[in-house]
Chains A and B, each alone.
Chain A
Amino acid sequence: MQPPNVGQADFSRALREFEDIVGHDGVFSSDDDLRAYNDAYDPFSVEPSQQLRASAAVAPVSVEQVQAVVRTANKYQIPLYTISTGRNLGYGGSSPNYSGCVIIDLKRMNRVVEVNEQGAYVVVEPGVNFMELYRYLEEHHHPFMVATPEPGWGSPVGNALDHGVSYVVGDNFSAATGLEVVLPSGELLRTGMGALPHGRLWHSFPYGFGPHIAGLFSQSNFGIVTKMGFALVRKPEMQTSFTVSSVKSDDLYRLIDIVQSMREQGLLYLTSVASPIRSPMGQPGQPVDLHVKRAKELLRSSNGGSATEWDQLAHEAGVSVSVVTGSIRGPDRVVRATLEHAKELFAAVPDVSFEQGKVYRFPLDVEAIAPNERPEFGIPSLWGFSNLIFGDIPRGMYFFSPVCRATADDLFALKQTIREVVLEYADEAMQDLLLGWIYCNTVYPKAFVFAYPFPVTSDSRINQKYRDLFKRLVEACGAKGWGEYRAHVAFQGEAMDQYSFSNHSLLRFCETVKDAIDPNGILSPGKSGIWPHKLRSVRQ
């Protein structure tokens, strides 16, 4: 494969120039080597004509090499697509948005540049993954947790730039401090105080002077982030959680209000909401009980079942209807006082049970923590893939990822909108998947984020039906204000299309910026639905 609209001779010259920059072993153009850049969970895995493919990959080891690669790409008008560790599975992995891109693979830029204990921040290059950062912090006895998502092979930089989440910080981009960015021209920019000749405050003060532009480089194609700082969380004395359960559906309103008010006051660092009786798939590994059939019937009814019906079923099944959790960490006395405070608050709701979780003291006995739970303590792992043990998804999945307000009203309303689309358009398997309640994690303080998996099957007709369903859900939810917070590279245009206020002024602004700073349209065309001028017809 070649980049579109680039002649064979020019492409060959560009590859030679890339080799001059990064060395022979840093340029990959054989079919064998490029296979590993395909999306491992490709939604089009059995539809070759629609697959997104790279034409080559280049792996720089320094910012100077990134700048030189970008300048060469400009010279030959070659589109690039940037990956940091390329492990964003379910959202595209190492695949570009636009076939023919040369992947700029930053995995070899893997330095932990600085750990500042007093300032509690770290500066990393994009190729560092969470596991590598954890090892570095442990090896150097730095007293910090790693804000890892479930799979620990991702990049703190790439994860945060895609608005990824963790159990430790929640919203990982909110922990970002300063950025260093290679612009589409090849120039180097540092954000905030990093723009001063001596950037002593680069990672200590967020703004500098003038526009705060760090966000322009998240989920965008305006530059290649080559360094990024993050505020770190110190290991606490103690970490624990509580679970509050009720057998009444309507209690969910008050439980969410209480747990979110604690979150808003900074007493809890994470919260979650669940409805076990509405999760008839059950927890993995648990036996299916006799009430599953009835629960599925209720979920498939037009209104999703009344509170009375759920309360009755929950009573018969001995399963909770309304559950919230809160996570606490800090000094021993503070954690204990917070738990007591929580107990008092929830005691105002009659007949709920308050269960305190296991108390973990630092330094942790890591071996005593089940591997799939270690990310909750800032210990990156790949064991979380074991949660896919019971799923029938041999070809992977992509995610439908809407966001709603962290209130019971908004949660029920979102679920109802999803239900209406699903009942009309989904087959039985997808109905089960989409109507059952999956956990709502308030990694964002005021919002629930979801990640509904859409399986990729071996049948192209089924895959097309699922993609149609996905688009209908994105549109139906988008129309009511529940936008996607991230999307697979193949569906980012659909996600962006929903953000249509004032005749899509957000997208038009992004396109204006794109054309101004990247006139050749070389950086990640199509990322987040932002296409450069010369390729805008592709979007249409």
Chain B
Amino acid sequence: MAALLLGLTSNALNADELNGNLSEGSIGGVIEVPKQSSPVNRGYLVFMKWCAGCHAPDYAAVGTEAAGLPIPGRTALGTYKLRQRYGRTLPAALEQRTDLTAGLITFFVRHGANLMPAFRKTELDDADLSNLVAYLDRNASAR
């Protein structure tokens, strides 16, 4: 309230993601920034910001009627389409995949596919892309 009365003004530049407390989430909302700045953690932030809104696992928040929601309320577009394509042979949610290679991820990010647009380097630069690969490839030892 004090800030309100004083007409608090924020002039600070946007902080670098790993220096801040919160980061963007394309599911809707914000996420906490991991304390350690590893490529995997940075890639997690990239995924949550640009990819999760279409590629997250199904929404199933505790205490809601998620199961009774219409499909668009429960399932993101990319997850739905990949489930249609792969059935039970591969996980529909990208974070659960163990077969995603750097080449494949780079191709889809820079070319897009179907309704997914390509991402420009001004949105997601090569360092972001490299971190995203580290995050999505983190389970690859299981391959």
Judge if B92 is at the interface, Cβ distance under 8 Å.
Answer: no
In angstroms, Cα B6 to Cα A219, docked, is 37
> Which residue on B lies nearest to A286, using beta carbons?
B70
> Which residue on A lies nearest to B75, using beta carbons?
A386
Judge if B131 is at the interface, Cβ distance under 8 Å.
Answer: no
Judge if B140 is at the interface, Cβ distance under 8 Å.
Answer: no
> Which residue on B lies nearest to A153, using beta carbons?
B26
Judge if A28 is at the interface, Cβ distance under 8 Å.
Answer: yes
Judge if A309 is at the interface, Cβ distance under 8 Å.
Answer: no
Q: Is the CB of B72 within 8 A of A389?
A: yes
Q: Is the CB of B14 within 8 A of A382?
A: no
- Which stretch (A29-37, A325-333, A441-449, A471-479) binds chain B? A29-37
In angstroms, Cα B71 to Cα A136, docked, is 31
**0/1 string, A21-51, CB within 8 A of B gives 1:** 0000100100011011110110000000000
Q: Closest CB of chain A to B21's CB: distance in Å?
A: 6
User: CB < 8 Å: which of A114, A366, A386 contacts B76?
Assistant: A386
Q: Is the CB of A368 within 8 A of B27?
A: no
| Contact (A368, B63) CB under 8 Å given A135-B30, A381-B53 | yes
| Contact (A139, B21) CB under 8 Å given A40-B112, A40-B117, A368-B64 | yes
**0/1 string, B69-86, CB within 8 A of A gives 1:** 111111111001100000
- Complex contacts, A283 vs chain B, CB 8 Å: 70
In angstroms, Cα B14 to Cα A131, docked, is 13
Judge if A388 is at the interface, Cβ distance under 8 Å.
Answer: yes
- Complex contacts, A110 vs chain B, CB 8 Å: 14
| Contact (A383, B30) CB under 8 Å given A113-B11, A119-B7, A370-B69 | no
> Which residue on A lies nearest to B22, using beta carbons?
A139
- Complex contacts, B29 vs chain A, CB 8 Å: 366-367, 374, 379, 381
- Complex contacts, A114 vs chain B, CB 8 Å: 9-11
Q: For chain B, residues 17 to 35, give those with C-beta under 8 angstroms from any C-beta of chain A.
A: 20-30
Q: Is the CB of A134 within 8 A of B30?
A: yes
Q: Is the CB of A134 within 8 A of B24?
A: yes
Judge if A3 is at the interface, Cβ distance under 8 Å.
Answer: no
> Which residue on A lies nearest to B64, using beta carbons?
A368
Q: Is the CB of A387 within 8 A of B26?
A: no
- Complex contacts, B69 vs chain A, CB 8 Å: 370
| Contact (A35, B118) CB under 8 Å given A107-B123, A135-B30 | yes
Q: Is the CB of A89 within 8 A of B117?
A: yes
Q: Closest CB of chain B to A455's CB: distance in Å?
A: 11
The tally of residues in A whose CB lies under 8 Å from a CB in B reads 73
Judge if A519 is at the interface, Cβ distance under 8 Å.
Answer: no
Q: Closest CB of chain B to A363's CB: distance in Å?
A: 12
Judge if A115 is at the interface, Cβ distance under 8 Å.
Answer: yes
Q: Is the CB of B7 within 8 A of A385?
A: no
In angstroms, Cα B99 to Cα A208, docked, is 60
User: CB < 8 Å: which of A59, A117, A284 contacts B122?
Assistant: A59
**0/1 string, A101-112, CB within 8 A of B gives 1:** 000010110111
- Complex contacts, B54 vs chain A, CB 8 Å: 382-383, 385-386
In angstroms, Cα B9 to Cα A81, docked, is 33
In angstroms, Cα B53 to Cα A370, docked, is 12
Q: Closest CB of chain A to B86's CB: distance in Å?
A: 16
* B interface SS class: loop
- Complex contacts, A379 vs chain B, CB 8 Å: 28-29
- Complex contacts, A380 vs chain B, CB 8 Å: 28
Judge if A276 is at the interface, Cβ distance under 8 Å.
Answer: no
User: CB < 8 Å: which of B11, B22, B119, B121 contacts A138?
Assistant: B22
Judge if A394 is at the interface, Cβ distance under 8 Å.
Answer: yes
Judge if A152 is at the interface, Cβ distance under 8 Å.
Answer: yes
Q: Closest CB of chain A to B44's CB: distance in Å?
A: 15
In angstroms, Cα B123 to Cα A37, docked, is 12
- Complex contacts, A369 vs chain B, CB 8 Å: 28
Q: Closest CB of chain B to A151's CB: distance in Å?
A: 8
> Which residue on A lies nearest to B119, using beta carbons?
A36
> Which residue on A lies nearest to B27, using beta carbons?
A371
- Complex contacts, A198 vs chain B, CB 8 Å: none
| Contact (A36, B121) CB under 8 Å given A284-B72, A387-B72, A389-B72 | yes
Q: Closest CB of chain B to A121's CB: distance in Å?
A: 10
Q: Is the CB of A115 within 8 A of B28?
A: no
- Complex contacts, B64 vs chain A, CB 8 Å: 368, 370
> Which residue on A lies nearest to B114, using beta carbons?
A394
- Complex contacts, A389 vs chain B, CB 8 Å: 71-72, 75, 77, 80-81
Judge if A351 is at the interface, Cβ distance under 8 Å.
Answer: no
Judge if A512 is at the interface, Cβ distance under 8 Å.
Answer: no
Judge if B142 is at the interface, Cβ distance under 8 Å.
Answer: no
Q: Is the CB of B49 within 8 A of A131?
A: yes
- Complex contacts, B63 vs chain A, CB 8 Å: 368
In angstroms, Cα B74 to Cα A284, docked, is 12
| Contact (A131, B26) CB under 8 Å given A285-B71, A383-B53, A388-B77 | yes
What are 23 sample pairs from A and B whose C-beta atoms fall under 8 A apart?
A25-B121, A36-B118, A36-B121, A41-B117, A59-B122, A111-B14, A116-B9, A117-B3, A117-B9, A118-B5, A118-B8, A127-B122, A134-B24, A153-B26, A284-B71, A285-B71, A366-B28, A367-B61, A371-B59, A373-B73, A374-B29, A375-B28, A385-B77
Please give the residue numbers on chain B whose beta carbons come within 8 Å of chain A beta carbons, in ascending order: 3-11, 13-15, 20-30, 49-50, 52-54, 56, 59, 61, 63-64, 66, 69-77, 80-81, 110-112, 114-123
Which 3 A/B pairs are nearest by Cβ-Cβ distance?
A: A382-B53, A118-B7, A40-B117
